[in-house]
A and B are shown apart, each in its own frame.
Chain A
Amino acid sequence: MSTREDPPRLKDVGDLTLREALRAARNDLPTPAHVAALGSALELALGVPPSVPPPPGLSAAGGAATGAYSVAGKLIAVALVVATGAGAVLVARRERAPAPPVSVTSSTQPAERPSAEPAGTLPTPSAMPPAERAEVTETTREISPPTVEPPSELALLADARAALASSPARALRILDVHRRAYPRGALAQEREMMGMEALTSLGMHGAVVTRAERFLASHPGSAHAARVRVLRDRALASADAAREASAP
């Protein structure tokens, strides 16, 4: 916005070198991927609850991290019940409480069912023999609400953990998906921990300290408290070291 009193800008009236420099400065914008990573990190740092509940399959969560989840949707949720065994089932149950008791060791779930196989390699119910499909369907009916469910907390955090070393920004996006789907999930503390680790990897020390202080205030007796203190102290030390290194 410009008013009549404003002088002409140098990009219009300056000499050629200056005009080019100002144009370069004007175009010096971050890439969308950079901003996306920053947005995920900020969202995590603020702990802002999602303004709109994620639609079925999390298809609206956006970003590369969510693509696979939205595509697989219900089938993965069903497969994960089988793949991750009682642990994942219990996690799922805690998210949906209160509900009638569930027999997670149902006889319809064979003990020899593979438990460590990646979800993506599991047979989908439609690809299973009819008898087995019926077993899965029965098990799912017992433990799942009628709506489409996102991947389990466990699966999301496992993916985030896998991404942490190579791409902390991607890990943050996955953690963001988890936060949207399970804002008060059973693994919320683990999510926060991993978020701090990802922020540490990204060198966002201020955010780490903020998150750590908030975590310690909210969960003083947490089993993760010691690790959080380490992360916080390390972030403070890194900030101090950087300040020392650059001191004149």
Chain B
Amino acid sequence: MRNWAGDRHEEGVTLALAQNLTAEPAAVPEIKTIFREHAPYVLRLARRLGVRDGDADDVCQEVFVTVHRRLPTYEGRGSMRSFVYGICVRAVANYRRKAHRRYELGMDAPPDVGHAEDPGRAYERKRSLAALDEALATLSEEHRAVFVLYEIEELSMAEVAEVVGCPPKTAYSRLYAARASVSACMKEGGRA
């Protein structure tokens, strides 16, 4: 039996997304399986939604505790990723309300994911990420969630709307507004 945090299976997540909304309810997977498949992406999502690295683990844990508690309500008609991400988005919103002081006050150093990475490239990557986070920090909570879910997590717009709980048209308008703001910030940052 592998650890919960066994190998990542992004393909598996993609396959999970292929569950048709009208399909028969599927068997609810175990929390361990859900954690193994989604935890890395929940951490990524939390960070891009503005949770500082020092708090990301706590938020991630809160997400999966909530997932565990709410699994009985999961009917298997939507994708598990939408279910988990929806809980994550709400957990981050809760985090922001409770810990408003932490939100976007600064950034911890991005985790070192490229151990063998060329130092110059690592520096560029971190700088690039920091610039993106700065741009994301200018967005409202709602716009940021839509942008991150679509552009980074690569959910479909239908899923984005489902996760954030808004009509698809609203999700589109938030996406376009967020794109304009992020692009402008990135250009401004590039000129600075």
A residues whose Cβ falls under 8 Å from a Cβ of B: 1-3, 5-7, 9-11, 14-15, 17-18, 20-22, 24-32, 34-43, 45-46, 48, 50-52, 54, 60-63, 202-207, 210, 242-248
Q: Which A-chain residue is minimally distant from B102 (CB atoms)? A: A246
B111 adjacent to chain A (CB < 8 Å): yes
Q: Report the separation of the CA atoms of residues A98 and B132 in the bound assembly, to the nearest whole angstrom.
A: 62
- Shortest Cβ distance from B108 into chain A, in angstroms? 12
- Shortest Cβ distance from A231 into chain B, in angstroms? 16
Please give me the 5 A-B residue pairs with the lowest Cβ-Cβ distance, nearest first: A39-B4, A246-B101, A35-B5, A21-B132, A36-B5
- Shortest Cβ distance from B73 into chain A, in angstroms? 17
Whether B30 lies near A18 (C-beta < 8 A) is no
Q: In chain B between 1 and 22, which residues have their CB closer than 8 angstroms to a CB of chain A?
A: 1-8, 14, 17-18
Q: Which B-chain residue is minimally distant from A207 (CB atoms)? A: B61
CB-CB under 8 A from B35, the residues of chain A are 39, 42
Option from B36, B125, B156 in Cβ contact (under 8 Å) with A1: B156
CB-CB under 8 A from A35, the residues of chain B are 4-5, 39-40, 43
- Shortest Cβ distance from A27 into chain B, in angstroms? 7
B139 adjacent to chain A (CB < 8 Å): no
Whether A30 lies near B111 (C-beta < 8 A) is yes
CB-CB under 8 A from B155, the residues of chain A are 1
Q: Which A-chain residue is minimally distant from B175 (CB atoms)? A: A7
Whether A39 lies near B151 (C-beta < 8 A) is no
CB-CB under 8 A from A39, the residues of chain B are 3-5, 35-36, 39
Whether B32 lies near A28 (C-beta < 8 A) is no
Whether A36 lies near B3 (C-beta < 8 A) is yes
CB-CB under 8 A from A5, the residues of chain B are 157
Whether B152 lies near A26 (C-beta < 8 A) is yes
**B interface majority secondary structure:** helix
Q: Report the separation of the CA atoms of residues A14 and B183 in the bound assembly, to the nearest whole angstrom.
A: 8
- Shortest Cβ distance from A53 into chain B, in angstroms? 10
Q: Report the separation of the CA atoms of residues A214 and B125 in the bound assembly, to the nearest whole angstrom.
A: 43
B144 adjacent to chain A (CB < 8 Å): no
Whether A9 lies near B1 (C-beta < 8 A) is no
- Shortest Cβ distance from B156 into chain A, in angstroms? 5
CB-CB under 8 A from B7, the residues of chain A are 32
Q: In chain B between 77 and 136, which residues have their CB closer than 8 angstroms to a CB of chain A?
A: 98-102, 105, 110-113, 124-126, 128-129, 131-132, 135
Whether B58 lies near A48 (C-beta < 8 A) is no
CB-CB under 8 A from A207, the residues of chain B are 58, 61
- Shortest Cβ distance from A174 into chain B, in angstroms? 13
Q: How many A-B pairs with Cβ below 8 Å?
A: 173
Q: Report the separation of the CA atoms of residues A20 and B151 in the bound assembly, to the nearest whole angstrom.
A: 12
Whether B54 lies near A203 (C-beta < 8 A) is yes
Whether B113 lies near A31 (C-beta < 8 A) is yes
Q: Report the separation of the CA atoms of residues A61 and B58 in the bound assembly, to the nearest whole angstrom.
A: 24
B47 adjacent to chain A (CB < 8 Å): yes
Q: Report the separation of the CA atoms of residues A27 and B154 in the bound assembly, to the nearest whole angstrom.
A: 13
Whether B58 lies near A206 (C-beta < 8 A) is yes
B60 adjacent to chain A (CB < 8 Å): yes
CB-CB under 8 A from B137, the residues of chain A are none
B65 adjacent to chain A (CB < 8 Å): yes
Q: Which A-chain residue is minimally distant from B125 (CB atoms)? A: A24
Q: Which A-chain residue is minimally distant from B110 (CB atoms)? A: A28
CB-CB under 8 A from B14, the residues of chain A are 1
Q: Report the separation of the CA atoms of residues A23 and B107 in the bound assembly, to the nearest whole angstrom.
A: 19
CB-CB under 8 A from A18, the residues of chain B are 132, 182-183, 186
Whether B131 lies near A17 (C-beta < 8 A) is yes
Option from B2, B48, B60, B150 in Cβ contact (under 8 Å) with A9: B150
- Shortest Cβ distance from B138 into chain A, in angstroms? 14
Between A and B, 7 residue pairs with Cβ closer than 8 Å are: A24-B126, A29-B43, A30-B40, A34-B111, A50-B1, A63-B3, A248-B101
For B40, B47, B112, B190, the residue with the greatest tally of chain A CB atoms inside 10 Å of its CB is B40
Whether A46 lies near B65 (C-beta < 8 A) is yes
Q: Report the separation of the CA atoms of residues A184 and B152 in the bound assembly, to the nearest whole angstrom.
A: 44
CB-CB under 8 A from B58, the residues of chain A are 203-207
If A203-B54, A243-B102, A247-B101 are given as contacts, then 9 extra A-B residue pairs at C-beta distance below 8 Å, sorted by A number, are A2-B154, A7-B157, A32-B5, A35-B43, A42-B65, A46-B65, A207-B58, A207-B61, A245-B101
